[in-house]
């Protein structure tokens, strides 16, 4: 799929949209996914015109994320899209998927990990405790908080989802190189 492409005009017809709408989608894609190489520009045989090709993966992203008007957050749709692409790549490469192992972390380690201030981390931990009946948090003797590995996973996948999306994108890039 990484090499399959559609011409710009065919994508316009597929979604029944204007050129300006597709260009707006491309700008959004470039802003949100600057490392993705989903647009290819080639010269026509007469060397006077340029032909724009869009990778099939980008067309799927348009369909499943950008133009998807179902309920749900945009970020959740992005995560679901990248998980689907990772599963496809793992199947193509016959690689067994292993869940990421998270280490237990203290409050200061979580601040470093997510690049957030202490108040934000404490609020996230409070919401996690509320959602999971205080399962993943322990108080240490030195009055510090330790979040178990399941809690770190919960925070990453459900609260700090942008960091999780970055991890998914990096893993997808590694799989694409193989």
**53 and 123: one domain?**
no
- Tell me, yes or no, whether 96 and 51 share the same domain: no
Q: Are residues 46 and 57 in the same domain?
A: yes
Whole-number Cα distances in Å, 76 to 73, 102, 171? 5, 21, 17
Residue 54 and residue 7 in one domain: yes
Q: Per-residue pLDDT for the chain (178 aa), expressed as one digit of tens each?
A: 567 889 988 999 999 999 999 999 999 999 998 888 888 888 877 767 888 899 999 999 999 999 988 888 889 999 999 999 999 988 888 888 777 888 898 888 998 888 889 899 989 998 898 888 878 888 878 778 888 888 898 898 888 888 889 888 988 888 888 7
Statement to judge: residues 77 and 43 lie in one domain: no
Looking at the fold, whether 138 and 159 belong to one and the same domain comes out as yes
Shared domain for 32 and 104, answered yes or no, is no
Range of the domain at 91: 71-178
Burial class (CB in 10 A: 0-12, 13-18, 19+), 46: exposed
């Amino acid at each position: 799929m990484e090499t399959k492409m559609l011409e710009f005009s065919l994508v316009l017809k597929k979604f029944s949209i204007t050129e300006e709408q597709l260009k707006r989608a491309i700008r959004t894609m470039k802003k949100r996914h600057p490392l993705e190489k989903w647009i290819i520009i080639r010269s026509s045989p007469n060397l006077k015109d340029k032909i724009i090709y869009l990778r099939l993966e980008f067309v799927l992203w348009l369909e499943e994320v950008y133009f998807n008007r179902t309920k749900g957050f945009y970020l959740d749709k992005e995560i679901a899209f990248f998980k689907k692409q990772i599963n496809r790549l793992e199947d193509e490469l016959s690689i067994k998927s292993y869940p990421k192992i998270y280490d237990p972390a203290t409050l200061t380690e979580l601040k470093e990990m997510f690049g957030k201030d202490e108040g934000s981390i404490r609020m996230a931990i409070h919401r996690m405790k509320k959602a999971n009946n205080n399962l993943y948090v322990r108080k240490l003797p030195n009055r510090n908080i330790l979040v178990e590995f399941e809690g770190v996973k919960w925070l990453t996948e459900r609260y700090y989802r942008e960091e999780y999306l970055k991890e998914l994108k990096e893993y997808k890039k590694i799989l694409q190189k193989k």
